[in-house]
């Protein structure tokens, strides 16, 4: 009986060691994925535009690390897709969506009621104004993401080609 008990004890110790190694390996992989996700996120343009099909740059970075195509970020363009591929060790691939024409938001100021909904929606703080006052767009900051258009209750925001902006 003593030999059997010793063998069982040794087997249990071996199993515990295997489980500990597996858990440690899983934690190492999770840390590596988090680091890679941070690197991918840092390469994205931070427009939070959602043109890639994800809710923003952070969710897209996580999806890319988990295997989603690194070619969906239109604002990052082909150069951004190439940088992502290099960091991920993937082959270079063409951008899946054509880069949108450079657009800029323009507020028809005479129609603006100063509700601030566009200011709250702008991910890059390109809209200036105050409650109950007219708002305007700082063209050089605007990414043309169009996130400010839908929240406007009076529909006074247009996206126009950057060269046609007043």
pLDDT in tens, 52-99: 888 889 999 999 999 999 999 988 889 999 999 999 999 999 998 655
Q: What is the CATH number of the domain that holds 116?
A: 3.30.70.20
3-class secondary-structure state, position 161: strand
In a domain, 130, yes or no: yes
The more confident residue out of 130 and 18 is 130
Question: What is the distance between the alpha carbons of residues 108 and 128, in angstroms, rounded to a whole number?
Answer: 13
Q: How many independent structural domains does the chain possess?
A: 2
Whether residue 70 is found in the same domain as residue 112? no
Q: Which domain holds residue 42?
A: 2-88
Whether residue 73 is found in the same domain as residue 147? no
* pLDDT value at residue 11: 72
Question: What is the distance between the alpha carbons of residues 25 and 77, in angstroms, rounded to a whole number?
Answer: 36
* pLDDT value at residue 112: 93
In a domain, 96, yes or no: no
Phi/psi of residue 128, nearest 5 degrees: -110, 145
Whether residue 108 is found in the same domain as residue 76? no
Whether residue 116 is found in the same domain as residue 83? no
In a domain, 98, yes or no: no
In a domain, 93, yes or no: no
- List CB contacts of 108: < 8 A, sequence separation 6 or more: 156, 157, 158
Q: What is the mean pLDDT of residues 146-166?
A: 88
* pLDDT value at residue 115: 94
Whether residue 75 is found in the same domain as residue 152? no
Give buried/exposed letters for 40-72 (b at 16+ CB in 10 A, else e): bbebbbbbbbbbbebebbbbbbbbbbeebbbbb
In a domain, 97, yes or no: no
Whether residue 62 is found in the same domain as residue 125? no
């Amino acid at each position: 009986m003593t030999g059997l008990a010793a063998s069982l004890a040794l087997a249990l110790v071996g199993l515990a060691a295997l489980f500990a190694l597996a858990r440690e390996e899983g934690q190492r992989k999770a840390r590596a994925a988090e680091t890679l996700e941070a690197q991918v996120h840092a390469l994205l343009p931070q427009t939070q535009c959602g043109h890639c099909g994800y809710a923003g740059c952070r969710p897209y970075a996580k999806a890319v690390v988990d295997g989603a195509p690194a070619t969906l970020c239109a604002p990052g363009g082909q150069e951004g897709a190439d940088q992502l591929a290099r960091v991920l060790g993937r082959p270079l691939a063409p951008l899946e969506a054509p880069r949108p024409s450079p657009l800029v938001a323009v507020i028809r100021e005479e129609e603006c009621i100063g509700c601030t909904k566009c200011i709250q929606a702008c991910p890059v703080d390109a809209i200036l104004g105050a409650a109950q006052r007219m708002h305007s767009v700082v063209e050089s900051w605007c990414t043309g993401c169009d996130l400010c258009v839908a929240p406007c209750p009076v529909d006074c925001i247009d996206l126009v080609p950057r060269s046609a902006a007043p």
